[in-house]
Structure 1
Amino acid sequence: MSISDRNHQILNELVNNPSITSMTLEKKYNLTRRQLGYSFRQINDWLMANNLPVIERTRKGYFIIDQSVFTKLDSGQEKILVENNILSVEQRIYLILIMLISSEEELSLHHFTSELDVSKNTVLNDLKQAQAFLSAFDLSIRYTRRWGYLIEGQEFQVRKLLMKVTYQVLQINNGTNRIQKITGLQNEQVDEFHQRIENVENKLYLKFTDEKIETMPYILILIKRRIKQENKINPFSIAYEELSDTKEYQATEEILYDLQEIPVTERLFITLHLLSTNVYWSESSMDEAIPNLAPAIDHMLRRFEKNACIYFQYREELLNKLLQHIKPAYYRIKYQLTEFIDIHNSLGKEFIGIHHLVKRSLSPLAELIGCDIPEHETRYITMLIGGWMRKQGESFEKKVKAIVVCPQGISVSRLMFTELRELFPEFVFLDSLSVREFFDYKLDYDIVFSPTFLQTDKKLFISKAFIGREEKQRLRKQVMLELHGYIPSDIDVHHILDIINHHTTIKNESALIEDLQAYIHRDEESNIKHRNEQNDFILSDFITPNHITLRDDVESWEEAIRISAQPLIESGNITKGYIEAMVNHQHDPYIVIGPNIAIPHAPPEEGVNEVGMSLLRLKEKVQFTSEHGIHLIIIIAAVDKKQHINALMQLMKLASVEHDRNKLIHANSIKEVHQIINLYSNDNHR
C-alpha cells in the first residue's frame, strides 16, 4: 500500500514537528478541514497497513504520535513509494481503460502512444495485460479497422469497470488533469456535478467519503455520456420497490433534474451507486431502508467477541461505525457491484488472525444478504474491528490461540471444538482440523488439543473427544498449570455486570460485585501441587531390550496386542485389564500413526500402574483394518499426559522416516532394533 505525495509531506511534517496543529497544517498546505481529515485518515490507513499505531488527534487540533512511529520512520521505513511522472505498467493500463470507456472517437495505437508517451510495442504489450485485467469483469478488447479499439461485453460490467478505473486514475500523480485531458471534461462540468452531489449530502443528512466525492462527478458524467452513445444497461435483477422508496432514489432525481431522457433502469443504477457508496458520517438511522441489518451486524459482532475472547468497550459506537460501512456494502454485494479492490497487503500480521475470526463470524450478515461476503469487504470489516481493538488496548497477539485436531469426523470434531471453547473461554480457538489439515495449517497458534498424538513443536494436550465433568476439570487444571504455573482467575467482574445489565435489572450492584468476586477468587486450588521439574524421558528409556519382541507373524490383531503388551505385564507397568481395554479400543482409526506402524493405548484408569512402552516387530504384516497392514506395534501406557510426550515425539519422527521404519521391520535381532531406537532418542537426530 503506497501513500500519495501530499500525504507523505503531511506525515513528514507531523514526525518532524509533532507539536503542529491542524489549523497550521491547513494553512501551510492550502487544505480545507475536510481535505486534511481525508489525508489524515489515509495516513492512518497506511500506518495500520505497516503495523504501526495510528496517529490520534485531540479536540484542540493537536496530534498524539506513538514513539514507535518516530522510531520506525527514522530507521528507514519512510521510503514510501510516491507516484511520480513515470507511469508504471499498472497505471498505463488504467489510463488505456479510461480511454476505451470514455472515448467519443475511434481509438488507434497512435492515440495510446501519444497519450502515454511510449512506443507501439509497449502499448501492444500493455493492451495484452489490460485484456488479462478485464477477464475479472467478463469484458474484452476488440480492434476493427472501422471502429478502432473498443471494449466489448455487458454494459453493467463496463459500469463496474468505470467505477474501479476512475478511482485508480485519480490516485495517479496529477490524476485529475490526466482524466480531464483523456475524457475531455471541463472543470465547469465537474464542479457542477460536485455541487449537485453536495446538495444530495445535505438532503440525505450524510457525508460521503472524500475519495467518493472526488470520483462520483466523473463517474456520473461518463455514465451520462455512455447512455447518450446508446450504451445502456439491460434490465437486471433489481427490486424496483427496494430502491424507489429510498432517499437515494429521490437524490438521483435531483442530480438528474435536467436529464429527462435517462430511463428508469439507468436511474435505478445511479441510485444503486449512491446506496453502495461509502459514507464518512450519517445523521439518519442507517438500517431504516434495510430491515434486520442492525440485528444481523449486532449478531455478527457478538459472534466475533466470543470467537476472539474479548469484550468491546463503547460497543454502540463501534456498531454504528460498522452499520455505516455495511449499509453500502449490502448493496454492493447483493447487486454484484463489488469493486474488485485488492487490499491483501494492507493487513498487518496481527490482523491476519483477526481476519480469520471475522470470516467465521459473518454468517448472520451473509444470511441477510443471501450470498457470501467477498474477500475485500471482509478485509475492510477486519480493519475496522482490528483498529477498534487496538484503540481499546486489546492485543490479539497476546492471547493464547488454540486449535483442535480430531481424526474422528466432522461431527465429533465440532463437538470437541465447542466443548473445549466453553472449557477455556479465555483462549482464542481458531479451528477444528483433521490430521491432514493440521500439517498444512498456516495460521499461528500456541497450543493443540487432540485425542491422538501429533508431531508438533507447540504444546500438545491429549484429550478424548468426549469428556465428562471431572475430566474437564482435570484438563483445565493441567493446561493452566502447564501454561501459567497456576490457575488464573482473570475474569473481569465489570464485564460480567455489563452482560447481566444487558439482560436484566440489577437491584444491588455493590452486593452483586462482592458476591461475584468472592466466587471468582475462591480458593479451590490449594490442594494442587505443581511439579516444577518434569522427568524428560526419551524413547530408549521406555523401549529397552527386554521390552522388544520379534515375531515373524501372528494370527490376528488382538494377538498382536497381547504379545506386544506382555513385557509391560511382566514388569508390572500395566494390568491384564489394560490389555482388554486396548483390544476394545482397537477400532479407533488414530491408533495408526504412519505406514505399517500403530500405537495401541487406552485411558490410564483402565489399568496403568507406571508409564511405559513396549514394541512388537512382525515380518509379515497383521491386518488392523482392510486399509492398514501393520508390522510395528508399540504399546503405550501413560499415567498422565506429560511423562511420555517427549518419547512419543521421538517415535513420531521415526514413524515418518521410511528408511529406518523398514530397517526395523527387517531387523534380525533385538540389538538392531534397539540401535535404531537409540538413534531417535537423540533430540539432535534429524
Structure 2
Amino acid sequence: MAEVTKELGLTRRQINYAINQFNSELITQKIPNIERNHAGDFIVPLEVLQLLSTQRELIEQVTTIPTDEERLALIVMFLITHIEYVSAEHLSEFLDVGKSTVTDDLKKVDPFIQRYYLTFKYDRLQGYQLEGSEHRIMQLLSDLVKRYPIFKRIEVTGKLSPQISKEEVIHLIHNMEQMLHLSYSDESLEYLRTAIPLLLARAVVRTKLGTQDFFEGEVQYTPEHRFLSVLIKETNWEIADSYLDWLTLLFLISNIFEKKTTQEFDSDFRLKELIREMVSNFEHQTFIMIEDRENFERRILNHLRPACFRIKYNLSLGMYSLDSLIQDSNHAILNDLMKELIVPTENWLRRAFPNDELDLLSYYFGFQLSNQPVVKQQKPKAVVVCTNGVMVSKVIRESLEKLFTEIHFLASFSVRDFYQFEVDYDLVFTTIPLETNLPQFIIEPIMTYKEQISLRYRVLNELGINEVDQSVDRLLSIIQKYATVSSSKELKEELQYFLLQEKQDSPLENTKVLPSLTYYLKPNYITIVDQAITWEEAVALACKPLLENQIINQDFLTDCLQQIEQPNYAGYFGEKTCIPHTTIEHGVLREGVSLLISKEKIAFPNREDIQIILPLSFLDLTKHLKAVNQIADLSTNPAFLAELFTKQETTSIYQLIRQFT
C-alpha cells in the first residue's frame, strides 16, 4: 500500500475505493477479485492482467492515428481528389491535427511527389494545389492505394470521395464480373473498391472543367473497355475518355479468382500464342507432358493477362496473398526455369517481369501443374440492411466486420436500396425480414456478447466454413470420459462459444473502452421545451447548440429535415426518441451530440409521441458504438424515461444521463 500511495500520489482511502470499484466490475464479469494477503500485499489474479492486456489492445485499435508517413500520403491523396486549391485549414480539419503539424507535413510533399515529375504549387491567397501530367497523377493515385493500407478504411475513402456512391461502385464491379463471366480475387475486389471512388472523385470534377486526353495506352480494344463504356452511361458519372481508359486499366490489372466461361477474346490472341510457346518450351525442357493442355493454357492466361497489364503500365495491386496456392520446395524450383520461359513475353511487352510478379507466376504455374483443388475459398459478399437509419446501420456493420473476418461486408443499405442492389451480394444481415432469395440473418441492432457468439455460430454453420461442431463433439466425449457432466447441453453450448471466440482473427468489440455518450453531450447542449411546437421547430431547436458551437452547419439541419419527411425514415429509437443524423458531406464539421427534451408530445411524420430529440454529429463511427448503444438503452428504459421527464433543469438531466451511462 505504501508503494502504491507513493507511486500514484493518492491516499489509502482513494486507493481502497478505486480497488473496490474495480472489483465490483470484475464480479459482474465473473473474474477473480484483487485481494490482499495477511502481509498486506496486493494479489492480482492472472485473469485481471489478461483483461487489462486485452483492454489496452482495444484502446490502441480505437485510438489508432495515422503515422507521419501515412499522414503525408493522406495529404497527397486529398490534393489529388480535390481539384481546386485547398487551404491548411482544410487539411487540418481532414486529418484532425493542428495547423502547425500540417505546415510541417506540407514541407515534405514536394520531395514525396518529385519522382512523378509533379509540382506542388502554393498561392498565398488560395492555398495548395498539385500540378503536372494527369497520367502521372493517376499513377500516383494508384501507387498510394497500393502502398498504404490506410486507404482501405471506409471512413477514409468516404472523406476523400463523399460525392461518389460506394453502393454504385460495388454495383459496377459486380456488373463487370457478370458481363465478363468471372469473379475477382479478394485482394482485387478490395483494390477496386478502394481505388475506383478516388479515381472518380477527380475524374468527374476534371471532366466538368474540361480536360485534355492524357492516356496513351491501348486498352480500348479490350472487352473490359467495351463493357465499361456501356455501364458508365447508366450512372451519373460523366467522365472523359482518358479517365474511362484508366478505369478500364484498374479492371485489367485485377487478378481473377475464377473464370466461369471458356469464351476467348480476339484482343488476347498474341498473349495466347506466347503462352502456347511457353508451355511447349516447358515440356521440352522438363520432359513433362501436360494433360488437358488447352484447359491448362486457359488457366495460365487468366493469371498472366492481368500481370502483363500491370507490368506494361507499371501498376500493382500491392502485396499479394499466396494463401490460395500450394507452396512447397517443388514450386520454388520453377523460379529459375520461369526466368527463361518468360523471355518471349518480356520481349513482347518490352518490359522485364519484376521478381514479385515472377515469383507469383512460378507458384501459379506450379500450382496449376499439380492439378490440385483450390484450397482457399473466396469470401462471401455481405450487405447490412437496417431500418434505424444510416448511423445505426453503419454501427451494426462495424460490429459485424469485427465478428466475421471470413466475410466481406461491402455496404449498409436501407430496405429500398437493398432491393435495388441485392444482386451484388451473397448474403444479407437485416433487422427486419426481407423478400429475397439471398440467405438472410435477422439481427438486433444492439447485440449482447452471447448473442454475437450465437450469431457467429449460426452464420458460419450456414456457410459451411465452420469447423467447430466436430471439435465440440470430440471435446465433449473426452470431458464426459473423465468427469461427471450435469448438463451436456449447456456444456456443449459453452464449448461452442469458447472455440468460436478462440478461432477469431480479431477480438469482439468491447464497448467498455469506447467514449461514453456524455463524452459528446455537454450540459450546455441540452434544451428543455414545455410548450407545444412543430416537429420542424423541435429539430431546429435541438440542433441549435451544435450550430452555435460550429459542430455542424446549416446543411446538417436541412438534410435531416428532408430525411424525416421521407415516408421510409427510420431514425428513431423506442417510441419517444428521434436521432437526426447525416453523413460527413452534409454538414458534419466536428463531433458532438445535443439533446432536446419536450414536456409535450410532438407529432413527427412517421411517429406521434416524440419527446426526445438527439442530433448526432459523428465523423468516425468506429469510436461511437458505445454512445449509440447507450442512446438505444436509454430510449427503451421505462425507469429512466419516467425519471427524465420529471427533471426541470439541464444540469439534473445531464447528471441523470451520466448516472445511467
Q: Same fold (TM over 0.5)?
A: no
- The two structures have a TM-score, normalised by structure 1, of 0.38
Larger radius of gyration: 1
- The two structures have a TM-score, normalised by structure 2, of 0.39
